[in-house]
Structure 1
Amino acid sequence: MIAQAAIEDHGLIGDLQTAALVDTDGTIDWYCTPRFDSPSVFASILDTGKGGYFRIAPDAGTYRTKQLYLPGTAILITRFIMPSGVGEVIDFMPPNTGEATDQHDIIRALRVTRGRVRFRVDCQPRFDYGRGRHDVKVEGGAVKFTNRDLDLWLWTPPADESARRPAVSFEGQGDGATAVVELAQGELTGMVLRSNASGASHRVEPGEPMRLYEETAHFWQSWLRQSSYTGRWREMVQRSAITLKLMTYAPSGALVAAPTAGLPEQEGGERNWDYRYTWVRDSSFSIYALLGLGFMDEAQAFGHWLGDRVAEQAGDGSGPLKIMYRVDGSSDLREEVLDHLDGWHGSKPVRIGNGASDQRQLDIYGEAADAIHLAVTHGAGVAHTGWKRLNEVTDWVCEHWDEPEEGIWETRGGQKDFTYGRFQAWIALDRVIRLAEFTGRPAHLQRCVVERDRIYDQIMQQGWNPSRGAFVQHYGSDVLDASLLLMPLVGFVAPNDPMWLSTLDEMGKELVSDSLVYRYDPSASPDGLRGSEGTFSMCSFWYVDALARSGRLDHARMVFEKMLTYANHLGLFAEEIGLTGEQLGNFPQAFSHLALVNAALNLDYQLDHGAGHVDVVGAALA
């Protein structure tokens, strides 16, 4: 049995339709195929005994490990440094940028750069989150794992003396296969794991893995050259951009919140959600970040995906939009518990699906309208049917904005009058008004203006707590909430408004620990769940942005620089940071990296132009 790695001890590889985590000991301990939200074949990050894994590491002796990405790419290198030599495992997935496919390859190359290293290969798949049975057939240099729904082929190219590639022969072991290969300095070999290759040849021509390596490196380096970002934090911003691209489902343009499920917000706790879906909430932040970095195609693709969701009808009482969808746009996210899995470090229950998908969350309408407004004002078009549907959504907001809801944090403690949901409803109406004026399209402007103004007046009267000197989480409370850091970012309040500056000060006293920001205090506002949680990296980056817009540039820069020290060794962030700096929650988290990019874009601009200015993209929000 292998050891269970810390959440932060991972790198991410992917092919733009699915992804895998590789830990610092050379183990793939999370991989779902053929899509992000498909059942896993490797899930030892959730259960080392029943989850399945694919490990390549030195066969014996003590060693140190290091990980890095090939610069400007998603090709991950895990280095093993030991007295006898230095070996490397190079992991990547050739990009699948076209239509959805069931065939996906993970390529694992082994090489030795100094001395000699003896590697042990151990592939132990467990289909359907460890619930499915499979057969194993070993044929020398190839292994076939056959499940009712999926086939996996593992093979290595034949021996090639001219390329200094030793032969590898597999042996069956339990429900998996193992091999041992010893390499001397300058020697290399490679392995390909192919999913859903039923009936297809598993053979490759000599030299094909190297060709795929070169093509994959070229793809990522060419893509990254499209970036227009030349600011102060280029390395971190570029790594965030690649990470976000890795979490994008190419056939639809949808961005998953994270490629993992069940990783806890507190070790041993129950806040263990499945994030392999696309939230409407991510849309405006994604499009803002992509536009700011110069990735127009990705911004338009996500905008089209969002437009398709607006053009649909949810068909239930929660409203015309679901809060989240699968990457293909479907909305069946029934939640279930995998009782047979122990969870990461005993954190149960392990959940797949997401029961919050049927909640009413008013803020998604503001975020959707904001995203569409951003896209249109930067060159995207709006078809007649799409505009008509957007007006229908706006009518729904006009009728329902003054109703309780579950809120941005998807708590399970009952519906409330959340201030964040109210001011995002204000955004929804405000952006549609602006779009109608910008495009000349027909809209129910008088009604939108009246309801928008009613929302504003209500928030100023009920969302503001005079005795607390702050905007609060929900009406009638004195609880602070980090989601309200977005109020000046999206133009609801002026960043130098005394009411806002007082709110910012109160948040700094209560929600901020060093550079880290809690989303709210669960003890002050019960959310229906047991246990505590770490600080939210997304909120910490929102805090940077709010400080910068409010003219506190020195403070903002120091908080931002401190936040970067909490990234893992590869520059990746999970959802949360724990008390001792450990990463918590699903990993890596799209929202954390989106917020990092947006904070860097705005902070760069403020430092270059002086406090109080907005950047080109932000001008559309002000």
Structure 2
Amino acid sequence: MTTSPVAMTESLAAYVDDLWDAVVTVDEHAAVRRVFDAVDAGVPPEDVLLDIIAPVQHRVGEHWAANKMTVAQEHAATAINDRVIAALAYHRPPPARAEQGRITVACVDGEWHALPARLLAEVLRLRGWQVDFLGAQVPAPHLIAHLHQTGPQAVALSSSIATRLPTGDRLMNVPCRGIREFNGFPDQGRGGAHGLTSSDAWVPGERGQGRTDGSAEAHERAANGRRGRKGTWPMNDRQKTSAGEAVDEADGVGYLPIAEHGLIGDLRTAALVGTDGRIAWFCAPRFDSPSIFGSLLDAGNGGHWQISPVEDIAKRQQYYFPDTNILMTRMLTENGIVEIQDFMPIREEGDPRHRQRLVRRVVSVRGSSRIRTVVAPRMNYGRDPHKVETQPHGVRFTSDALDISLQANVTLRVEGQDAGGEFDLAEGQSALFVLETNRPSRAEPAVDLVDTRAAEELFRSTVRFWRQWLSQSTYTGRWREMVHRSALTLKLLTHEPTGAIVAAPTLGLPEQLGGERNWDYRYVWIRDAAFSLHALLRLGFTREAQAFISWLTSCLRGVQDGEHGPLRVLYSIDGDAELPEHVLDHWAGYRGSAPVRVGNGAAGQLQLDIYGELFDSVYLFNKYGGGISHDSWMDLCAILDWLLEHWDSPDAGIWETRAGQQRHTYSRLMCWVAVERMIRMARQRGLPGDLGRWMSERDKIYHQIMEQGWNAREQTFVQRLSGDAGQPPECILDASLLVMPMVKFLSPDDPRFRSTVRAIGENLVTDSLVFRYDPEVSPDGLDGTEGTFSICSFWWVEALARTGQIEAARVALEKMFTYANHLGLYAEQIGLTGEHLGNFPQAFTHLALISAATSLDDFMG
């Protein structure tokens, strides 16, 4: 009697569950016994390997990746599976004669996880191959030597760690006499990446064709069919996003979670450093310059700078040197602890000899370690070729637009377009790397060498700068650590030569994995910068506020009434309003989230709310920082004249939607703020202005909001005004309306505001995380969904506090702190599973944290 496929599948699932129970309880005898129960029941040994052992090992990997299993538990479970495979191989020997030929199976250089390769080796033996199984961590030169000595017909390489895949890919181009040409590096298996290379393609994922096949069709599958988009390599077939939508597996290879990064900078630009020791994002010499390292947005083609131990890393840690923006990344291995110190020295005032430098110091804190570094710049978003040459103290990378010199006190070798090397550090020893960028026309040989002593002084001077700056803070409340980290982050996002504050140092990080909501935030939004000024003033940083106001007033000089008014939504850091948006279509995007956009089309939108943020920031500075000049006042009066003629126009709104202009309630609210603040300044300072007209228009805006922005049936303010005063507006909630009492439009005790808070809490809030609106109810012209909006979550805290719900506000704030990354940094959005989404770190979020914490402190006394 033949067992049906359904019955066989159900019985295999039972064996999988039983084997899983055995490996997690570290019961080797039970594991072996259960596997042989399957064999005795008629399950073919190959099916035991692929459909019982492999799924269990995949589950082990998933639990480890989700922190549900410790490294020790993962090692123990893997060891049991390895011994189960050995027992199966011993009791079920392969055919006596190898009919298919000889094949070498090995792990790529640097890959210590050998079980996937072991699975592959045993399956190939069962299929009639003579297998040379070389195990884990096979250095490339030794592998090539072995191939020349043994002359196999094919080679299979395995990698379970995504960052090792490029190593295998490069090895494919090495010709070996007597072996078929290497043609690709497809992934294989359930969640693993054990792949066959050569014109013989093993495709056991396709059970009907699960054989080693030398056909042209198999060759095509191996070389092309499974290769990821844009030349990246997949780890498994499909990967689910948090929204439940699938993206190509290629999108996950070589990408840390967004939150697994820290930020360093020199007040001119910034770099993201991963917990894996990789600089994955760095633009120079400015925030908005083209990238040098951009693997954050294309792991294969973006460029990176990696420093890490050669051996397996058991644990990774990252922290900031206290009260500074110097980043410390620690990697713990069985042999010791390696620490990477990353920082960018700050230019001291009046220092004409200062050079823009990125310093990386590697220290063996405990034990001895072998370290590998790979420096792989890709100039101009990976579009410009460059030359590499060795120098007495390092290497030099030169393109048409940029010159990069890299000093090192260890030996580096040129590898194609890259440089790299391995070196040993005994306990207490260190290695030093210093990267400098210059324009080619100004480039000169590096004569200002940075030795160990000079590097130590750079470290100390950088510590002094950050601590002296932070000492100016007047905040002494309950949440000093989080507030001060946010202040330090805002300072990092400041372009000191101009005083501009960028929204974020990155571009293209997605609001939904695999989606199209990917924007360039390396510019100055009037809205974000105005809120930042408010936050800095609350902490006592008046110098930064003065610098921003100077930048802002320079943007206002000589403004013209363009298509969308005299004020632009965003500017470059030097005040340029022309920021055309285009797509880097040669980049795959973070985990496949394309398109990757440079520039920002929102610069050409009409967003009326920015006028309120502008006038409010000037008002606050006039009140707490310094007086406004006559010329600036006249510029503001001219801008207000335009606003009084256009405040009733539809616009794109605070959320910069691309679904057409609407009559947004928040935009009206901030127009009211603009007029009201000008009235206040005129009265307080005796400044000239048409106060009668101003007050009349202010009151018109007020009544319009109260009549057309209020839904009486649902008892809430809504996102858009109604078409006419006699018709209720559509009930679309918007979290931006939580700021009504913060801008003094309504009392927090007003019943209308309290019921609005209640409605938002019931519809847009999930465990203190707040959606800005529901795109299904309010289509925004973009496909896909997004996460919760972090600034709205902090506005929620303030709204709770202002309506007397102090305990609830405190709980919501503490919950939001738990969503920060390990360094206290926030992206623009938080997904429902806690992942960071959008550009990172974002000024808007950190300034809202400061505002929420300081306000709640005031309410709590």
User: 1:193 aligns to what?
Assistant: 435
**In structure 1, how many angstroms separate the alpha carbons of the residues matched to 2:582 and 2:293?**
19
Superimposed CA distance per residue, residues 287-342 of structure 1 (whole angstroms, 9 cap, x where no aligned partner): 21111111110111112212222334155210110010001111121000000000
CA contact (8 A) 2:347 2:354 kept: no
Distance 1:101 1:532, change over 3 A: farther
1:541 corresponds, among 794, 799, 808, to 794
| 2:683 equivalent to 1:434 | no
**Aligned residue runs from structure 1 range 91-490, under 5 A:** 91-96=342-347, 103-157=355-409, 168-196=410-438, 198-206=443-451, 207-476=453-722, 477-490=730-743
User: 2:290 aligns to what?
Assistant: 39
Moved more, 423-432 or 185-194: 185-194
CA contact (8 A) 1:273 1:350 kept: yes
Distance 1:141 1:379, change over 3 A: closer
| 2:752 equivalent to 1:524 | no
**SS, match of residue 154 in structure 1:** strand
Superimposed CA distance per residue, residues 247-275 of structure 1 (whole angstroms, 9 cap, x where no aligned partner): 00000111000000000000000000000
Superimposed CA distance per residue, residues 512-563 of structure 1 (whole angstroms, 9 cap, x where no aligned partner): 0001000000000010000000000100001101111111101100000000
**In structure 1, how many angstroms separate the alpha carbons of the residues matched to 2:596 and 2:349?**
32
Give 1:17 shift: 0.2
Whichever residue aligns with residue 446 of structure 2, its letter is S
Whichever residue aligns with residue 553 of structure 2, its letter is G
**In structure 1, how many angstroms separate the alpha carbons of the residues matched to 2:692 and 2:292?**
55
CA contact (8 A) 2:474 2:539 kept: yes
User: 1:165 aligns to what?
Assistant: none
**In structure 1, how many angstroms separate the alpha carbons of the residues matched to 2:817 and 2:678?**
36
**SS, match of residue 178 in structure 1:** strand
Superimposed CA distance per residue, residues 175-212 of structure 1 (whole angstroms, 9 cap, x where no aligned partner): 11001121111111211010116115254153111110
Whichever residue aligns with residue 199 of structure 1, its letter is E
| 2:836 equivalent to 1:590 | no
**In structure 1, how many angstroms separate the alpha carbons of the residues matched to 2:447 and 2:771?**
50
**SS, match of residue 281 in structure 1:** helix
**SS, match of residue 411 in structure 1:** coil
User: 2:132 aligns to what?
Assistant: none
**In structure 1, how many angstroms separate the alpha carbons of the residues matched to 2:616 and 2:743?**
9
Number of residue pairs aligned between Structure 1 and Structure 2: 598
Give 1:97 shift: 5.7
1:80 corresponds, among 331, 335, 339, to 331
**In structure 2, how many angstroms separate the alpha carbons of the residues matched to 1:242 and 1:607?**
25
Moved more, 181-190 or 579-588: 181-190
Whichever residue aligns with residue 112 of structure 1, its letter is S
**In structure 2, how many angstroms separate the alpha carbons of the residues matched to 1:277 and 1:15?**
17
**In structure 2, how many angstroms separate the alpha carbons of the residues matched to 1:248 and 1:176?**
31
**Unaligned 5+ runs, structure 2:** 1-161, 164-253, 723-729
User: 2:272 aligns to what?
Assistant: 21
User: 1:612 aligns to what?
Assistant: none
User: 1:161 aligns to what?
Assistant: none
Distance 1:378 1:265, change over 3 A: same
**SS, match of residue 741 in structure 2:** helix
**In structure 2, how many angstroms separate the alpha carbons of the residues matched to 1:205 and 1:584?**
38
Superimposed CA distance per residue, residues 191-234 of structure 1 (whole angstroms, 9 cap, x where no aligned partner): 10101161152541531111100000111011111111111001
| 2:822 equivalent to 1:569 | yes
| TM-score (norm: length of structure 2) | 0.68
Whichever residue aligns with residue 402 of structure 2, its letter is L
User: 1:69 aligns to what?
Assistant: 320
Give 1:445 shift: 0.7
Give 1:286 shift: 1.2
CA contact (8 A) 2:545 2:625 kept: no
CA contact (8 A) 1:41 1:127 kept: yes
CA contact (8 A) 1:20 1:28 kept: yes
User: 2:198 aligns to what?
Assistant: none
CA contact (8 A) 1:55 1:122 kept: yes
**In structure 2, how many angstroms separate the alpha carbons of the residues matched to 1:389 and 1:492?**
25
Give 1:101 shift: 10
**In structure 2, how many angstroms separate the alpha carbons of the residues matched to 1:287 and 1:345?**
34
Give 1:381 shift: 2.0
**SS, match of residue 447 in structure 1:** helix
Distance 1:4 1:202, change over 3 A: farther
Superimposed CA distance per residue, residues 432-488 of structure 1 (whole angstroms, 9 cap, x where no aligned partner): 000001111101111100000000011100000111210000013210001111111
**In structure 1, how many angstroms separate the alpha carbons of the residues matched to 2:313 and 2:542?**
48
**In structure 1, how many angstroms separate the alpha carbons of the residues matched to 2:541 and 2:778?**
39
| Larger RCO, structures 1/2 (Cα 8 Å, 6+ apart) | 1
CA contact (8 A) 1:264 1:586 kept: yes
| 2:834 equivalent to 1:581 | yes
User: 1:497 aligns to what?
Assistant: 750
**SS, match of residue 258 in structure 1:** coil
**SS, match of residue 414 in structure 2:** strand
**SS, match of residue 389 in structure 2:** strand
Moved more, 356-365 or 98-107: 98-107
CA contact (8 A) 2:263 2:270 kept: yes
User: 2:767 aligns to what?
Assistant: 514
Identical pairs, percent? 51
CA contact (8 A) 1:98 1:251 kept: no
Superimposed CA distance per residue, residues 52-84 of structure 1 (whole angstroms, 9 cap, x where no aligned partner): 000000022343110010000000000010111
Superimposed CA distance per residue, residues 357-402 of structure 1 (whole angstroms, 9 cap, x where no aligned partner): 0100110000000000000011412221111111011111111001
**In structure 2, how many angstroms separate the alpha carbons of the residues matched to 1:539 and 1:180?**
47
| TM-score (norm: length of structure 1) | 0.94
**In structure 2, how many angstroms separate the alpha carbons of the residues matched to 1:96 and 1:297?**
17
What RMSD, in angstroms, separates the aligned Cα atoms of the two structures?
1.4
CA contact (8 A) 2:500 2:529 kept: no
**SS, match of residue 489 in structure 1:** coil
Moved more, 309-318 or 234-243: 309-318
Give 1:105 shift: 0.6
Q: Which has the higher helix share?
A: 2
